[in-house]
Amino acid sequence: MKKWYKLLGLTAAAALALVACGTTSDETADSSSASGESSTEGEATAPELSTTVDNEGDAIDGGTLQVGLVTDTPFQGIFSWEYYEDAYDAEIMQFAFDSLFGTDENFQIDDSGKATVELDQEAKKATITLKEGLKWSDGDDLTAEDVVFPYEVIGSPDYTGVRYDSTFMNIVGMEEYHNGEADTISGITIVDDLTVEIQYIEVGPSMLQAGGGIWSYAMPKHYLSDVPVADLASSEKIRSTPVGDGPFRITKVTPGESVEFEANENYWLGTPKLDNVVLEVVPSSSIVAALENGTYDIALSMPTDQYESYAELPGYSLLGRDELSYTYIGFKLGKWDAEAGEVVPDENAKMADKSLRQAMGYALDNNAVAERFYNGLRSNANTVIPPVFGSFGATTEEVPGYTYDPDKANQLLDDAGYADTDGDGLREDPDGEKLTINFASMEGGETAEPIAQYYIQSWNEIGLDVQLTDGRLLEFNSFYDRVQADDENIDIYQAAWGTGTDPAPNGLYGRNAEFNFSRWATEENDNFMADFTSAEAFDAEFQQNTFIEWQKYFSEEAPVIPTLFRTEVLPVNNRVKHYDFGYDAPADFGWHSVELTADAPVTE
């Protein structure tokens, strides 16, 4: 289970199909869907997908699991929880790296993992205790030093990743360490080889969530400490020969293309039953044919816009679950100040007027998109808290979100002074100056281009001149590099977030979060972020009210417009004896327990 924020690609996580499945990419949606009339004629029913599969047959000894990773771009290959940034690397790492903590059905830390957490609210202290006998994949002991090492890396002044945020600043002595004023983090104490104590400025309920206020991963200090922190992300020890604590160890990396694994006999839950795992990148246009030919046992990041083409795939069971993610339209509202470690809003930014942002939200008919072109595997997103988090997410009665209402969109623009002053059918800004909005969207299968063009058409219909950045779709890695760098040629962008297992939004929308790509911050939002992590939030009523009220505020301010929630689909070959895709899978279940019943994937 991944427990941190992930950048998602459109094919893997956020493709909005304005093309009926099975048609060519240049066939756009019919006039009713393009105009947003949410007709229910021919509406797809959501498929009923199980989270588990059990196949008959005796298990063979060992064997190799063949895995396809569906992406139209090479993976980055940053095999470190402290440095990785996108979902593709996270998909790869799940075979070779573990979390320290186990979780229950609500994603709260329990005693089923490598380590336990005891949180002392009064003393504002967390005690992390490792179980005995833990080892890294190279046979070295996993100790308290490895628990502390990620804090030393992420907090270092030389850290080049994006995870130094308010959760780390909340540790006593961390800011002094990060600023180079101290050689150690005063609030972190190694009690013994198995025990670490961390002193916090404030404690809150997110510390009980996996991926919340307590870092969930260890880092092999014995292996990495000789590499300068500034060089870690690009080092061979992370890119090519990483040491992990998961069920398999990486033995070969073909950059951007494939990764080979072998069983890790040092795994804490026992030697895996498989001998090897081989993972290969597969383009979205080829994955269905590859599965039909029995090339892979499992396909990760399976494109749901192609669902009809593999719904009855011989030799496979299709598993499904709600994703911890959402698609959104983001608006650039400022810059990231790396030295200060915070976003700096610009009141003069092109998209600074929230009426403009709201109007662009009301111009889109995501409800029709979800209903008519996704076989029930997408749903209109009213908020940025996915429904898998239950009552933390606002209902549509509490937060309606943005549904198609062109009249309201036009009225908002009229009232805000965006008028067509030269008669060309396109609105100028309130100062009468030409308004061109640069829209960044990424490549991703056959649907990416028609989706982007649909959005542009929808905004054009309310009088906005929106153009693709550089006049084309951007490659996945380039897209996120430019969004993160606050490229001046990007005013708005279409992207997606994998949220991790903590519903608190501080890591994505806090002032000190580098992942806050819209670069939006207000004092009122700062207060909400503080409330999420405060001791007062241990009170269930206060916590619930904070979540709902923040979502109301966030929706009104619209620094991003959430568009779709999703269900993810996982094809599993019939030679896989048992697999559990559910978030509530038994604590001792994982890749180490997977068995095969034949020497190669079957096609019937």
pLDDT 10s digits, 394-414: 999 999 999 999 999 999 999
- Angle between the 523-532 and 540-557 helix axes, to the nearest 10 degrees? 150
Rounded to 5°, the CA angle 474-161-302 comes to 45
pLDDT of residue 375: 76
State pLDDT tens for residues 243-274: 999 999 999 999 999 999 999 999 999 999 99
pLDDT of residue 7: 55
Architecture of domain 57-94+236-321+568-593: 3-Layer(aba) Sandwich (3.40)
pLDDT of residue 112: 93
State pLDDT tens for residues 195-232: 999 999 999 998 999 888 899 999 999 999 999 999 99
pLDDT of residue 372: 67
The pLDDT confidence band at residue 589, using thresholds 50, 70 and 90, is confident
Q: For 102-230, which CATH class?
A: alpha beta
State pLDDT tens for residues 48-83: 899 999 999 999 999 999 999 999 999 999 999 999
pLDDT of residue 106: 86
Contact by Cβ (8 Å): 212, 108: no
Strand positions, DSSP E, 83-124: 102-103, 109-110, 115-120
Q: Examine the pLDDT at 436 and tell me if it is beyond 80.
A: yes
pLDDT of residue 446: 72
Same-fold call for 57-94+236-321+568-593 versus 102-230: no
The one-letter code for the residue type at 303 is P
Instruction: Return the bridge partners of 497, or none.
Output: 7, 326
Neighbours of 37 (CB within 10 A): 12
* 519-533: average pLDDT: 96
The residues spanned by each domain of the chain are: 57-94+236-321+568-593, 102-230
Pairing state between β 378-380 and 342-345: unpaired
Between CA 178 and CA 186 the distance in angstroms is: 12
Of the listed ranges 9-18, 76-85, 120-129, 368-377, the one predicted with least confidence:
9-18
- SS3 for 376-431, per residue? CCEEECCCCCCHHHHHHCCCCCCCCCCCCCHHHHHHHHHHCCCCCCCCCCCCECCC
The pLDDT confidence band at residue 376, using thresholds 50, 70 and 90, is confident
Q: Examine the pLDDT at 373 and tell me if it is beyond 80.
A: no
